[in-house]
Copies of this chain bind each other. A is one copy, B any other.
Amino acid sequence: MFEQLGLIGCGLMGGSFALALKRAGLVKRVVGYSKSPSTTAQARQLGVIDIEAPSALLAVAGADIVLLAVPVAATEATFKSIKHLITPNTLVMDVGSTKRDVVDAARRALREQVGSFVPAHPITGKEVSGVEHAVADLYTGKHVILTPIERTQPEQVRRATEVWSALQCHVMTMTPESHDAAFAAVSHLPHLIAFAMMHSMLTQPQGEEYLKLAGPGFRDFTRIAASDPRMWRDVLLANKEEVLAQSQAFRRTLQAMEHMIENQNGDALEGLITQASDARTDWRMVSFKPQK
């Protein structure tokens, strides 16, 4: 049981964490701060937070658990602004989709307090953002990946695992490097592609007419293209090397397929599609059934 959650960033992710922690009876009060005062006010009106803080530092004052739910690009500045109130007993976590940059920022900004920080990435997707979409069960049944570094206190990793488990999440641990390589492949590249495809369509003279004919395949394929632009700008920039490596590997495969089409090489094309189709047919999302 925690006394106070210091919530920095009262959007979809942060707000949902606060609601989940409250519902699980894990926290007495939530003090929240958002860069935009109207967001903080809205979070209080919606009952997501109990008290509005005028700064990140004041949200952390008195907190024994702190969640950073800010765009990854704002991580370092946020750490700097709260560093003085973090003790070895404060559990500090984030929810960022990239981890190497967050860990680097934490090393630079938190220095001797970096051991209190347990980098976390809850795998949950929504194409909407904002505190008005925050729900207590956003994380229920989801995977959460923790990427502790050598300086992270084992005790804090244990507490972080307990918190997410209490929210009915399945907790895994990876290095920040493995995390970023894997998510470049399974998440960042698909988003990049979906944005590029939507944009390529828009720039065609008849793009709007074409869109009217699009069906269910297109709908599902492009769903992630509706995701939050600023967040994804930050993710793609933060995980630059891995994203570029994945994008280039993908483009090579696409070009190889174009050559097969160009040369009417039906056998090679069918062979490649068959491998892709079989792999997708066999794939099952690893789902975690929370215990009742």
> Is the Cβ of A221 less than 8 Å from the Cβ of B223?
yes
- Whether A240 pairs with B261 at a CB distance below 8 angstroms is yes
Find A218's partner among B181, B186, B196, B199 (CB 8 Å cutoff).
B186
Complexed CA–CA distance, A272 and B276 (Å): 29
Quote the shortest CB–CB distance from A258 to chain B (angstroms): 5
CA–CA, A200 to B237, complex, Å? 22
Given A195-B273, A216-B125, A250-B197, are A209 and B186 neighbors across the interface (CB < 8 Å)?
A: no
Q: Mark A214-235, 1 if CB is under 8 A from B, else 0.
A: 1111111111111111101110
With the chains together, A200 CA to B125 CA distance in Å?
23
Across the interface, A197 reaches (CB within 8 A) one of B189, B199, B261, namely B189
Tell me which residues across on chain B come within 8 A of A216, comparing CB atoms. Answer: 125, 285
A247's contact among B124, B218, B234, B258, by CB below 8 Å, is which? B258
Interface membership of A201, Cβ < 8 A = yes
**Interface positions of A from 116 to 151, Cβ below 8 Å from B:** 123-125, 127, 143, 145
15 A-B residue pairs with Cβ-Cβ distance under 8 Å, sorted by A, are A125-B217, A182-B206, A186-B214, A187-B217, A190-B218, A192-B257, A193-B193, A196-B253, A199-B279, A202-B275, A202-B279, A228-B277, A229-B277, A247-B257, A251-B255
Distance between Cα atoms of A228 and B217 in the complex (Å): 14
Give bound CA distance, A275 to B231, whole Å: 14
Binding stretch for chain B, among A36-44, A104-112, A262-270: A262-270
Is B233 in contact with A269, judged by CB distance below 8 angstroms?
Answer: yes
Query: Which B-chain residue is minimally distant from A286 (CB atoms)?
Result: B212
- How far does the Cβ of A189 sit from chain B's closest Cβ, in whole Å? 7
- Give the number of times this chain occurs in the complex, counting copies: 2
Instruction: Give the distance to chain B from A139, nearest Cβ to Cβ, in Å.
Output: 12
When the two chains form their complex, are residues A210 and B185 in contact, meaning their CB atoms are under 8 A apart?
A: yes
Q: Does A47 contact B (CB under 8 A)?
A: no
Residue of B nearest to A123 (CB): B215
Which residues of B sit under 8 angstroms from A197, Cβ to Cβ?
A: 189-190, 193, 250, 253
Interface assignment of A25: CB less than 8 Å from any CB of chain B? no
A183 to B215, CA, bound (A): 10
| B217 adjacent to A283 (CB under 8 Å) | no
CA distance A261 to B244 in the complex (A): 8
A236 within 8 A of B: yes
| Distance between Cα atoms of A250 and B232 in the complex (Å) | 19
Given contacts A187-B218, A233-B270, A234-B266, 11 further A-B contacts (CB under 8 A): A182-B213, A187-B214, A196-B250, A196-B253, A220-B221, A222-B280, A237-B261, A237-B264, A237-B266, A248-B258, A251-B254
